[in-house]
Structure 1
Amino acid sequence: MTKKFSLITLTAMLFFSTMFVINPGLNLSSSGVSTAFAEAPGKSASAFDRKITARFSSDNAMEHIYHLSVEIGPRVAGTEEEWETAEYIQNELESYGYNTHIQEFGIPDRVEGSLTASYTNDEIPMRLATGSAGTDAEGLTAEIYHTGLGYPEDFTEEAEGKIALIQRGGFTFWEKTVNAAEAGAAGVIIYDNSASSNPFTPSLGGNVAPVPVMGITMADGEAMAAAAEDGHTATIQVTAFENQSSPNVIAVKEPKGGPPTGQDPEIVYVTAHFDSVPGSPGASDNASGTGTALELARILKAYPTEKEIRFVFVGAEEIGLLGARHYVSELSDDEISRSAANFNMDMVGTAWEQATALYVNVVDGQPNAVWQAASAAAERLGNDTLVLFQRGSSDHVAFHDAGIDAANFIRREPGTASLEPWYHTPEDTFDKISQERIQEAGELIGSAIYDFSSRTVPGRGPGGR
């Protein structure tokens, strides 16, 4: 690594009961979920958890995050950078003493876009319309032509060969695109008509456009409109990705006593995706989850557990949870029957001030084994940040759909459940990661995983559910 980080001095935690924010109306006493397997609060629990809290190093996790987001950068599914990341993860796991393997899977052909302009050095966040035309390898560079809402009468002969900048509203995106193309415009950029931190995806109603089409935010559109008055240009690049594959990286921690013999043990999955969206360094999404999971793999290697722990780092999450879905699809019926829980980490370290809560997202909104373990660990550690929330949109969905208790850990703003404003943008950079929150997530999630993996859940012995 090329960069070192100072250790965080952590105040010794008091262990006391705390309240958790959960789904409105949720009654844990009637949910059928038992917490009997967790350590009771007190001295024995604190000593048990200290095996994790004393060894989890946010310095190490931050070095992983730095390498992925700065030294590698954007890790788009199927690209050389995604494969380089997989190799890095595999090498790190093997340095901890794990046997690993790469699981390769094919991904669909697709197009990805980017947008730059002569008036700024930064890439402009955009969303490519489904059905957009492509460009050649060099992209399309042309003068910006600003034309209101894009009615036919808004275009003059000066639009020919230029990139039409059109405001959202009034009528459909497809009609705007047709009007621009008929006026001879070489490309179309549609900007939002309301404030939003993220660009939108123009829907073309299933049509295929004759020119490239993309959507941007209102703020970026207004800046581009002002620049158009001075004759500035924009560059649209739409690249086709064909015949690509993506990797998963898997390491297995055998249960106490070594490989399964006789009655096979339950399986716990610790997962994180390592790909990013185009143009984004993906420091929060999801180098933060990957770095935290790698550090947990390092420290858990030394401790015997009753359950088998599988560390599964997946690719191609950003294009449809493809890595996780492929991994789960390859599990045997016996493996599915022995699967106890999936702890999935995604965006656990943002420095965004409003993201004061660590959400435990579950697909059906109901408390499950992962929530149990996490809330019990949080109570022992005196942590009051957890929120139980109903949401998919990450790799835990693939495990849930197979009947496995699964949850996604992610930082959000409580109440609104908002993500940081630089989500899926070029601004998702290393300097916006909180080392303190990485430490907090590692200690809490690590304690939950270790506790859950180190005992048999009452009412569900090894090999049974």
Structure 2
Amino acid sequence: MTKKITLVFLGALMAFSGLFAVPQGAGVVSDSTAYAEAPGKSGSAFDRRITERFDSDRAMNHISHLAEEIGPRVAGTDEERESADYIQGELEQYGYEVSTQEFDIADRLEGHLQTSLSDDELAIRIGTGSASTDGEGVSGQVVHAGLGYEDDFPADVEGNIALIERGEFSFWEKAANATEAGAAGVIIYDNAEGLVPPTPSLGGNEASIPVVAVTQADGEMLLSEDDVTASLRISAVTDQTSQNVIAVKEPKGKPVEDPEIVYVTAHYDSVPYSPGASDNASGTSVVLEFARIMEAYPTEKEIRFIFAGAEEIGLVGSRYYVSQLSDDEINRSAANFNLDMVGTNWENATSLYVNVVDGAPNQVWQSASAAAERLDNDTLVLFERGASDHVAFYEAGIDAANFIRREPETASLEPWYHTPFDTIDKISQDRIQEAGELIGSAIYDFARKDIPGQNGNKNRAKSMNTKDYLLNEDESLREGTRQ
């Protein structure tokens, strides 16, 4: 709900009347305007600097470029580097001096499964503990071996690729039985419908042959024809790097000595096979719009727009960034607003969750909820959750939260999360606009003024009763437990 505040000073009224026509690159905007609401409009005058300039058409163009023109942006790949170059180019057009921060990432296995049924590769997940292959990999007939019991393997599986159904006992036992039967490789297909293959965990064991998994639909496709052949290749990818892209907006307006720092972050990488339109071209696009809009505005605080690489393999980019901050920077750090999956069109995802690692209603939550009240927006839910780049800032003692769309009753994410179906047709431009207006208003309000009693990361906001706001997550809602 918004409250009307009477303008007291004529000078403030005059400043208010000329507030909104701010073309890109127009330079510093006067900040003499009173914090007030115009008759008949939601939000404050300062909010409208964001709400009337946030352009979801621009954001959708960013999503299109990242998800459609570049596609899957796996950490360390050429596609991830191409995305970083694109982000850097956009920020430079907005007038920023942009820096990049390169860092090493862990070695990984990369797999390819080609069959005689199609020219397209099948999406696979590589078993944890799978062997890699040499050169061209292993090839042979696809031989069905039931559930993978010892007696399920026909004699002709030797030297060929065993196709095994998931279920009844562990992935490792299936792989071990296939190895004993002489199979050259193993494909495990799911026993339930799903958009992505399961990840076969071999329980800490090391297989001597390659082990991968496919979806139930792909497994049934392999079963539907006789004399299907396959080629399976798994290779180690080593000595790779990723990068963060950073643009800094210095305080403008009256001089500020040792300004506090606000971090606005989003990761731009995606998982294998996924175009990553929602996860996380959506968050990346919105943060790019924030950088464009806020460049000209005066703020009390320094704003750092950080586009993190290698989030999907363990928050590597954001943790590297925070590890490089000096003690002085840490002491001046006020808050981190992290955006991840803010634009899904899944009809059930009607809530914008504010994920906080410890569940405490910190300054980020308070700023967002205050903006939501001014804008008459009732979508926010405070939630105890890590699993995105805000964790790195929280671990350094900085108030941090992640904004993400979820289903309000079960906290579920969209069904195409981390799948090849995370495409631009799954994005709601209206929700991109809503997230941009709400989160942008919160960030600008927080950064533009010195907030009494809140001095960087030294005073976490813990006075509120967390139980009144906190919704705990049942991990079983999203994480499968089947073997």
- Counterpart of 2:234? 238
What is the aligned counterpart of 2:201 among 203, 206, 224?
203
Alpha-carbon contact 2:2-2:43 (below 8 Å) kept: no
Code of the residue aligned with 1:421 in structure 2: it is: P
- Counterpart of 1:385? 379
CA distance in 1, matches of 2:309, 2:412: 24
- Counterpart of 1:255? 251
> Is 2:319 aligned against 1:349?
no
Q: Report the CA distance shift for 1:46/1:460 in structure 2 as closer, same or farther (over 3 A).
A: closer
Alpha-carbon contact 2:268-2:309 (below 8 Å) kept: yes
Question: Matched residue of 1:189: which SS?
Answer: strand
> What are the residue-to-residue correspondences of 1:301-320 with 2, within 5 Å?
301-320=295-314
**Cα displacement string for residues 263-283 of structure 1 (whole angstroms, at most 9, x for unaligned residues):** 311100000111111111111
Per the TM alignment, residue 462 of structure 1 is displaced from its structure 2 partner at its CA by 7.0
CA distance in 2, matches of 1:294, 1:138: 42
Question: Matched residue of 1:60: which SS?
Answer: helix
CA distance in 2, matches of 1:198, 1:390: 26
CA distance in 2, matches of 1:179, 1:151: 7
Q: Report the CA distance shift for 1:140/1:416 in structure 2 as closer, same or farther (over 3 A).
A: farther
CA distance in 2, matches of 1:235, 1:344: 41
CA distance in 2, matches of 1:41, 1:199: 52
- Aligned residues with identical type, % of pairs: 68
Q: Report the CA distance shift for 1:99/1:126 in structure 2 as closer, same or farther (over 3 A).
A: same
CA distance in 2, matches of 1:142, 1:158: 11
- Counterpart of 1:361? 355
- Counterpart of 1:424? 418
Q: Report the CA distance shift for 1:151/1:463 in structure 2 as closer, same or farther (over 3 A).
A: closer
- Counterpart of 1:398? 392
Per the TM alignment, residue 183 of structure 1 is displaced from its structure 2 partner at its CA by 1.5
Per the TM alignment, residue 42 of structure 1 is displaced from its structure 2 partner at its CA by 7.1
> Is 2:331 aligned against 1:337?
yes
Alpha-carbon contact 1:290-1:345 (below 8 Å) kept: yes
Q: How many residues align?
A: 427
Q: Which has the larger radius of gyration?
A: 2
CA distance in 2, matches of 1:233, 1:15: 66
Code of the residue aligned with 1:207 in structure 2: it is: N
Alpha-carbon contact 1:271-1:314 (below 8 Å) kept: yes
> Is 2:271 aligned against 1:277?
yes
Alpha-carbon contact 1:275-1:316 (below 8 Å) kept: yes
With the length of structure 2 as denominator, give the TM-score of the two structures: 0.83
CA distance in 2, matches of 1:184, 1:383: 62
**Cα displacement string for residues 404-433 of structure 1 (whole angstroms, at most 9, x for unaligned residues):** 111111111111111122211111112211
Alpha-carbon contact 1:114-1:279 (below 8 Å) kept: no
CA distance in 2, matches of 1:462, 1:402: 12
Code of the residue aligned with 2:398 in structure 1: it is: I
- Counterpart of 1:23? none
Q: Report the CA distance shift for 1:115/1:418 in structure 2 as closer, same or farther (over 3 A).
A: farther
> Is 2:189 aligned against 1:191?
yes
Alpha-carbon contact 1:266-1:339 (below 8 Å) kept: yes
> What are the residue-to-residue correspondences of 1:135-150 with 2, within 5 Å?
135-136=133-134, 138-150=136-148
Alpha-carbon contact 1:42-1:380 (below 8 Å) kept: no
Question: Matched residue of 2:44: which SS?
Answer: helix
Alpha-carbon contact 2:36-2:44 (below 8 Å) kept: no
Quote the RMSD (CA, aligned, Å). 2.3
Question: Matched residue of 2:131: which SS?
Answer: coil
CA distance in 2, matches of 1:147, 1:40: 71
> Is 2:452 aligned against 1:458?
yes
- Counterpart of 1:112? 110
Per the TM alignment, residue 123 of structure 1 is displaced from its structure 2 partner at its CA by 4.6
With the length of structure 1 as denominator, give the TM-score of the two structures: 0.86
Q: Report the CA distance shift for 1:142/1:350 in structure 2 as closer, same or farther (over 3 A).
A: farther
What is the aligned counterpart of 2:164 among 150, 166, 180?
166
Q: Report the CA distance shift for 1:93/1:234 in structure 2 as closer, same or farther (over 3 A).
A: same
Per the TM alignment, residue 53 of structure 1 is displaced from its structure 2 partner at its CA by 0.7
What is the aligned counterpart of 1:415 among 398, 402, 409?
409
CA distance in 2, matches of 1:204, 1:323: 28
Range 429-438 or range 120-129, more displaced: 120-129
Q: Which stretches in structure 1 are left out of the alignment for 5+ residues?
A: 1-13, 18-38
Question: Matched residue of 1:71: which SS?
Answer: helix
CA distance in 2, matches of 1:142, 1:419: 39
Alpha-carbon contact 2:37-2:45 (below 8 Å) kept: no
Alpha-carbon contact 2:335-2:457 (below 8 Å) kept: no
Per the TM alignment, residue 187 of structure 1 is displaced from its structure 2 partner at its CA by 1.4
Question: Matched residue of 1:206: which SS?
Answer: coil
Q: Report the CA distance shift for 1:181/1:40 in structure 2 as closer, same or farther (over 3 A).
A: farther
What is the aligned counterpart of 1:321 among 307, 315, 336?
315
Per the TM alignment, residue 191 of structure 1 is displaced from its structure 2 partner at its CA by 2.6
Question: Matched residue of 1:85: which SS?
Answer: helix
> What are the residue-to-residue correspondences of 1:58-97 with 2, within 5 Å?
58-97=56-95
Code of the residue aligned with 1:285 in structure 2: it is: D
Q: Report the CA distance shift for 1:111/1:16 in structure 2 as closer, same or farther (over 3 A).
A: farther
> Is 2:101 aligned against 1:103?
yes
Code of the residue aligned with 1:101 in structure 2: it is: S
- Counterpart of 1:36? none
CA distance in 2, matches of 1:155, 1:435: 52
Q: Report the CA distance shift for 1:93/1:367 in structure 2 as closer, same or farther (over 3 A).
A: same
CA distance in 2, matches of 1:114, 1:377: 47
Question: Matched residue of 1:76: which SS?
Answer: coil
Per the TM alignment, residue 195 of structure 1 is displaced from its structure 2 partner at its CA by 4.3
Alpha-carbon contact 1:349-1:411 (below 8 Å) kept: yes
Q: Which stretches in structure 2 are left out of the alignment for 5+ residues?
A: 5-34, 460-483
Per the TM alignment, residue 464 of structure 1 is displaced from its structure 2 partner at its CA by 6.1
Alpha-carbon contact 2:253-2:299 (below 8 Å) kept: no
Code of the residue aligned with 1:272 in structure 2: it is: A
Code of the residue aligned with 1:445 in structure 2: it is: I
Question: Matched residue of 1:442: which SS?
Answer: helix
Per the TM alignment, residue 116 of structure 1 is displaced from its structure 2 partner at its CA by 4.4
Q: Report the CA distance shift for 1:285/1:295 in structure 2 as closer, same or farther (over 3 A).
A: same
Range 427-436 or range 388-397, more displaced: 427-436
